Amino acid sequence: MEPKTFVNPKKSAALLLVGTMKGAFILSSDRDRERWEVSGPHFPGRIVYALAYDRRAGRQRLWAGTSNFFGTLLHSSDDFGRTWTNPDSAPIKFPEDTGQSLKQIWQITPGREQEPNKMYCGVEPSALFESNDGGQSWSLVRGLFDHPHRAKWQPGGGGMCLHTVLLDPANAMRMHVAVSTGGVYRTDDGGQSWQSRNQGLTAEFLPDKHPEFGQCVHKVDQHPWRPERLYLQNHGGLFRSDNAGDSWQDIGNGVPSDFGFSMVAHPHDPDTAFVFPLEREMRVGPEGKVRVYRTKDAGGSWEPLGSGMPQQDAYETVLRDGMAADALAPAGIYFGTRSGKLYASRDEGVNWRQILDRVPAITCVKAASV
Amino acid sequence: MELDASGSTVAEALAALWQAYPGLRDRILTEQGEVRQHVNIFVGEENIRYCGGFAAAVRNGSSITVIPAVSGGADETRHSLDDLFRIHQHSGVSLKRYSVRHSVQRHKKTRPLQENLPSIEDLEAELSETANPEKHDE
């Protein structure tokens, strides 16, 4: 696997977008996902927390949120990273009356298929921005920003961020976001009003262990075909909801640690999900092993999957956006570590191999099909 | 390259800079108009954070220097080389870029005279090695 300056993926190729603390990398493979071409670093020296691929309306557009001393920018590329936009004016800005300044873009989410010019960004400090013109201009979603809970949200170790944006593909009015710390919020009216959806989620660091809001939710994912099913990695605890967040039940059964950052729902099977448990003290894989845990019964039980990965003396951390699944069959599962390694499985987690090494600390991994 | 303008404060000098190079404003200031956390602006050797902010006086002959902060790992040598640009005050305001002389010369070879100043991309590339505050997700 020789690094290349640019990738040139063919139609239906598999695409991996990898963000790091010092730039981004783009990997491309055919549907077999045996050999990967690597392009990068893009944005060398800049922190890349958010990447996305937008294939709606015939686009082949990459998006990247980057930051350094000189602020946070949103870039796009229509040629797989050969050229990127570099706007003079920062595209995402808090209005003056908010008194807030953008620190980081944590999530870039293209809208639903039927709304090809809609886009969302989750940012730090915790807020949601939306675009109705394909990402040219952005506005603050006031319904969430003005929520009375917001003043009591607290920053987690990674900052006070809105890190997850989940669109219900079947209901254009419904959307979930997750905030650390703050918890899960849902709108059923297209973003005009938002309700906390944290019943059953714990906040072990508060006197009230089951507050209405204030949970440190690390990541939420939803099943694309059954969007009322959500899986959640909490700051302590694994949870599932079968009613779009109205209530949550603990599914941390049989994992070596219920702490972790990432959570990935299987693209096809709503009963399957993947996590990367971390022991609390060092926040690395327990027992010095690199293992993904998979449930195939909606969290009733979890099995370790480590074939092809180090099983001793390994101290790897996977961050909240560091794991992803593609939509191919069998599904490919991918994760990147803070030590700059990218692992891939093309058989739904059974066997793994390292496909990238010695890159800067990986902050996000996104998988897509061209 | 020099840019003439009138003004007697840092704010007025910077306004002239924004007008000439609109892309610099959002790199140096937040959307709330504050100097970014890891960027410092000096009048002479004084950081404007401690001498009046944007209202700090700029006298004839003084220099305004914008430099990424040492936070994030820039050592002193890189620091001095990586000045983003300097504003030199004559009778009006003149903007004199740049402390990285080799970079100026390189750009002069490849750009029309009136575009001797490097682009935003060039400025960012010059600074990228040090302009990266360590943050993390945990």
> CB distance B32–A96 less than 8 Å?
yes
The residue among A186, A189, A139 whose CA lies nearest residue A165 is A186
Q: For residue range A249-268, what is the model confidence (pLDDT) as tens digits?
A: 999 999 999 999 999 999 99
Q: Residue A363: which of B23, B31, B137 has the nearest Cβ?
A: B137
Q: What is the mean pLDDT of residues A315-327?
A: 98
Please tell me the distance from the alpha carbon of residue B46 to that of residue B124, in angstroms, as a whole number.
24
Structure tokens of B102?
């080799």
Using CA coordinates, name the residue in chain B closest to A87: B23
Please tell me the distance from the alpha carbon of residue B80 to that of residue B95, in angstroms, as a whole number.
18
- What are the chain A neighbours of B131 within 8 Å (beta carbons)? 45, 68-70
What number of CA atoms fall less than 13 Å from residue A2's CA on the CB side?
Answer: 2
With 60 as the cut, is the pLDDT of residue A347 above it? yes
Please tell me the distance from the alpha carbon of residue A72 to that of residue B124, in angstroms, as a whole number.
12
Q: Which of residues 160-219 of A touch B (CB under 8 A)?
A: none
Structure tokens of A61?
């557009």
Shortest distance between the Cα of A200 and any Cα of chain B, in A, equals: 24
Instruction: Provide the ipTM.
Output: 0.88
Neighbours of A72 (CB within 10 A): 25
| Tokens 């050969």 found at | A82
Please tell me the distance from the alpha carbon of residue A88 to that of residue A59, in angstroms, as a whole number.
24
pLDDT at residue B60, as a whole number: 82
- What are the chain B neighbours of A317 within 8 Å (beta carbons)? 138
> Among the residues of chain B, which ranges form H helices?
10-20, 22-28, 76-81, 101-110, 120-127
Average pLDDT, chain A: 96
Using CA coordinates, name the residue in chain B closest to A278: B138
With 70 as the cut, is the pLDDT of residue A365 above it? yes
Structure tokens of B69?
């902060």
pLDDT at residue B41, as a whole number: 94
B132 part of contact set with chain A, CB < 8 Å: yes
Q: What share of chain A is helix, strand, coil (3-state, %, to 5)?
A: 5, 40, 55
Q: Are strands B63-68 and A342-345 parallel, antiparallel or unpaired?
A: unpaired
Largest interatomic CA distance in chain A:
54
Q: For residue range B64-85, what is the model confidence (pLDDT) as tens digits?
A: 888 888 765 444 333 333 445 5
Q: For residue range B15-71, what is the model confidence (pLDDT) as tens digits?
A: 988 998 899 999 999 999 999 999 999 999 999 999 999 999 998 888 888 888 876
User: Model pTM?
Assistant: 0.89
- What are the chain A neighbours of B128 within 8 Å (beta carbons)? 44-46, 68
Backbone angles phi, psi at B83, to 5 degrees: -50, 130
- What are the chain A neighbours of B138 within 8 Å (beta carbons)? 157-158, 261, 283, 317, 319
A53 part of contact set with chain B, CB < 8 Å: no
Cis-peptide into A125, omega within 30 deg = yes
Yes or no: say if A98 and A145 are a contact pair by the CB < 8 Å rule. yes
Q: For residue range A292-305, what is the model confidence (pLDDT) as tens digits?
A: 999 999 999 999 99
Structure tokens of A144?
């969430």
Neighbours of A79 (CB within 10 A): 12
- What are the chain B neighbours of A338 within 8 Å (beta carbons)? 136
Three-class DSSP category at B12? helix
